[in-house]
Amino acid sequence: MSTNAKKDKKITVADIIAAKNQGRRLTMLTAYDAPVSALVDRCGVDMILVGDSLGMVVLGYDSTVPVTMDEMLHHARAAGRGRSRALLVGDMPFMSYQVGIRDAVINAGRFMKEADCDAVKLEGGLEVCEVVRAVTRAGIPVMGHVGLTPQTAGNLGGFKVQGRDLASAKKIIAEARALNEAGVFSLVLECVPGELARAVSAAISVPTIGIGAGVDCDGQVLVTQDLVGMFEKFTPSFVKKYAELAPLMKEAVSCFIKEVGQGVFPDREHSFSSGETLSGLLEDEDGDQSGG
């Protein structure tokens, strides 16, 4: 096997679970289209999440609640075409798994059959354990998501850190244990104190993937548009911007507008020439116009 072939081996759910025992920290980033998916894949990220953050980051909604299955599948298919190596996780949108077990299994199956996903993610604690069991029994790996769960943030008092007091911290640990037992292969912990994330990571056998959950998780996830500084509407305090692409894009667009106005773009380098072939064209056309 060549070094490249080894490097390009597709990451499996078993690899994700094994990483915890190997002490290898996992990375997951979001992608909603083929170019970004290809880019983060080539950089070596372990998992690509087609998150329902799609709604806010790409589709311009105010929350993740309006996102539909069709919108998720459209973008998951695009992200699937971009990746070659990372595990592709489709995020189940609000109301695609809450109404009944049958709907949940069918919708999870659509991510696998129609969008080439390797797994699905869904939010919630004890109330979704039955769904997790049914979906995993159908042969579909499930990633859990506890702490701040954006689809139901209203019930949690808004976009706030969860598990700050002893009772709610214990509840999150109990939810994590129950999801572990129900069969999740990993668990997103969103917006919880670092000490709690550490306790959850020690309490369960599958990797925890933190977002705003401190350094002691088994892996970390960020929304790619946040990480590269492309999403300007708001930035959660736990986000580290590794680049500032929005100002660069604005500068490029402003230059384009200015140069078009000045007649500077396109210059010779960015235009086509026919050589001699069309040399008489201008004169003929001028002649035609003046001759009526």
Q: Which residues bind ligand KIV (CB under 6 A)?
A: 30, 49, 51-53, 91, 188, 211, 221, 223
The pair phi, psi for residue 146, each rounded to 5°, is: -130, 175
Cβ(160)–Cβ(236) below 8 Å: no
Q: Residue 105 or residue 221: which is nearer to ligand KIV going by CB? A: 221
The minimum distance between CB 122 and ligand KIV, in angstroms, equals 10
Q: What is the C-alpha to C-alpha distance for residues 164 and 105, in angstroms, rounded to an integer?
A: 34
How far is the C-alpha of 268 from the C-alpha of 19, rounded, in Å?
54
Active-site choice (130, 175, 190, 195): 190
Question: In the chain, how long is the greatest CA-to-CA distance?
Answer: 90
CA distances from 81 to 67, 84, 142 (A): 21, 8, 21
Smallest gap from Cβ 44 to ligand KIV, in A, equals 19
SS3 assignment, position 233: coil
Q: Pick between residue 154 and residue 280 the one whose CB is nearest to ligand KIV.
A: 154
Task: Give the nearer residue to ligand KIV in terms of CB position, either 112 or 150.
Answer: 150
| Nearer of residues 13 and 226 to ligand KIV, judged by Cβ | 226
Coil/strand/helix, residue 265: coil
CA dihedral sign of residues 43, 33, 246, 242? negative
Least CB distance from residue 267 to ligand KIV, whole Å? 42
Q: What are the phi and psi torsion angles at 209 (to 5°)?
A: -120, 110
- Asked if 123 is an active-site residue, the reply is no
> Judged by CB, which is closer to ligand KIV: 204, or 231?
231
Q: Are the beta carbons of 2 and 47 closer than 8 angstroms? A: no
Distance in Å, CB of 273 to ligand KIV, minimum: 48
* Residue whose CB is nearest to ligand KIV in the complex, by number: 51
Least distance (Å) between residue 5 CB and ligand KIV: 31
**Catalytic machinery residues:** 190
